[in-house]
Chains A and B, each alone.
Chain A
Amino acid sequence: MDNREKVVVVRNLFKAFGDLEVLKGVNLDLYREENLVVLGRSGTGKSVLIKIMVGLLQQDSGSMQVLGKEISTLGIQELNSLRLKIGFSFQNSALYDSMTVRENMEFPLVRNVKNLTKKEINLRIEELLDAVGLPQTINQMPSELSGGQKKRIGVARTLVLNPEIMLYDEPTAGLDPITCVDINNLINEVRERYKTTSIVITHDLSCAKQTGDRMAVLLEGQFNAIGSFEEVFPHASDERIKSFYDYNFINS
């Protein structure tokens, strides 16, 4: 594993909001084309970690290197170039609700890829909607879509710029179990088809088991256990991880 290329390197990362310390010296390596699942209870800073990764938040101290670049030192133009290589799928999909699905997908494409013809744009959008299994929604408004459809369109929109890294923030939150399985399959398909490296933020152990190569459990601001699902969960010695497993995992 260590011989593989590291695409994200996090060292001694600290982040606090006022008096509330969220990340307390986080260390993490993410390898190319792996799916890493970050688990933890609500409010433990999982989303904060990936928001720092795309420059939406700034760390207080420590180092966050993405594709060899230290995020905190980048200017806005360099940061935007890096952001083109990172796809961020938001917890609530964050589709632009005043735009149709087509316009949602066009939005990042026309602003970041120059000299594309209308035909090329349409082709790219149709290809991605096919990939997420929703070609029929192209002219629909986000308000006309179900929660699962919104998540899929959100993923398709992030894929429109061919990212190298995909960040999924709670991809199965608020969805029924069957749609959850669909979304988990989509995450795996995206990795296989587009050769992406992914971080999946979740507290859903079914999602974690289905999508993750490695699990990283964030407890009290630090990663307490990193390894495969079998290494981390069934025989966890840490009471907090054990209880997390006992309470949340439905062994199907």
Chain B
Amino acid sequence: MAGPSGMRKYIFSKKIDTFFKGLADAWNFVRRFFQEVFVPPYEFKEVIHQCYRIGVESLPLISLTGFIVGIVFTNQSRPSLSEFGATSWLPSLIAIAIVRAMGPLVTALIAAGKVGSGIGAEIASMKVTEQIDAMEVSATNPYKFLVVSRVLATTFMIPVLVMYTDFVALMGAFINVNANELVSISTFFAQVFSSVTFLDIFSSIIKSLFFGFTIGMVGCYKGYTSSKGTEGVGRAANAAVVISMFLIFIEELLSLQIINLFRIK
């Protein structure tokens, strides 16, 4: 009979074992996406349907959040700049902050909460109610129909939503700047475009693609591998959000390092 310390060691090793098994499962799940995405039949209709759902349904929340971020960030930045008499730099500062970091990050985090949890819950509930099994027994590939289509949709739509968020946030910032510094829209956007470089926009789109892929993949994985009935549906939705957000921050950190290499050159 193992003593308390032996039991603790056993539980610890079991947890490590489960962790690595989970990691291997997740890797196989992602690998399967790349194996299936280029092979016919293609579920174009479902991809378009999911793009529409992800894009249109997220629009009100993203519009509101982006607009508020623009206004608040401008308001918070003004006192510091005015100390140096540099409030005329507000459009440049805000544009760089929004395009480089805040736009992609805010959009991705909102999408992780709204879209990622939705995907996780939807697929998990399909699993619980045997709808995924029903697809399988009718000789249809559920992975292709459910996972590939959703991951493609999030990967394509998050960059679109990021560009939209950037625009809405800049409009919010303009309203604030216009009200306080009486800057016209043409002057504001002239300054915005003179400070934002191609690398800023390009890197923002590329990292948004990764954010989108992460949100879709994590949501699908947690839904597809959910267990424990209806309780599992809630867990899948919750885990989809938490893990997506965690990975988005890591990706943001990595992308920052990589982009900085290009900037120094």
Binding site for B on A (CB under 8 A): 51, 54-56, 80-81, 83-84, 86, 88, 90-92, 94-98, 107-108, 111-112, 157-158, 161
The answer to whether A108 and B129 have CB atoms under 8 Å apart is: no
8 A Cβ contacts from B126-172 to A: 126, 129-131, 133-140
Least CB separation from B133: chain A residue = A56
A98 to B145 alpha-carbon distance, docked (Å)? 13
- A199 shortest CB reach to chain B, Å: 14
The answer to whether A80 and B139 have CB atoms under 8 Å apart is: yes
Given contacts A81-B139, A112-B140, 14 further A-B contacts (CB under 8 A): A55-B136, A56-B133, A83-B136, A83-B137, A83-B138, A94-B133, A96-B126, A96-B134, A96-B135, A97-B126, A108-B138, A108-B140, A111-B139, A158-B138
- B225 shortest CB reach to chain A, Å: 16
- B78 shortest CB reach to chain A, Å: 47
Q: List 14 A-B contacts (CB under 8 A).
A: A54-B137, A56-B137, A86-B137, A88-B134, A91-B130, A94-B134, A97-B131, A107-B140, A108-B140, A111-B140, A112-B138, A112-B140, A157-B138, A161-B139
B41 at interface, CB cutoff 8 A: yes
Chain A residues, CB < 8 A from B140: 107-108, 111-112
The answer to whether A56 and B136 have CB atoms under 8 Å apart is: yes
The size of the chain B interface, using a CB distance under 8 A, is 14
A86 to B140 alpha-carbon distance, docked (Å)? 13
- B32 shortest CB reach to chain A, Å: 12
Least CB separation from A108: chain B residue = B138
A111 to B135 alpha-carbon distance, docked (Å)? 11
A88 to B130 alpha-carbon distance, docked (Å)? 11
The answer to whether A83 and B134 have CB atoms under 8 Å apart is: no
A108 to B122 alpha-carbon distance, docked (Å)? 20
Chain B residues, CB < 8 A from A90: 130, 133-134
- A59 shortest CB reach to chain B, Å: 17
- B135 shortest CB reach to chain A, Å: 8
A51 to B134 alpha-carbon distance, docked (Å)? 11
- B223 shortest CB reach to chain A, Å: 14
The 7 closest A-B pairs by CB, nearest first: A108-B138, A94-B134, A80-B139, A94-B130, A88-B137, A83-B139, A54-B137
Chain B residues, CB < 8 A from A56: 133, 136-137
The answer to whether B131 and A96 have CB atoms under 8 Å apart is: yes
A97 to B131 alpha-carbon distance, docked (Å)? 9
A223 to B115 alpha-carbon distance, docked (Å)? 48
Least CB separation from B140: chain A residue = A111
- A239 shortest CB reach to chain B, Å: 34
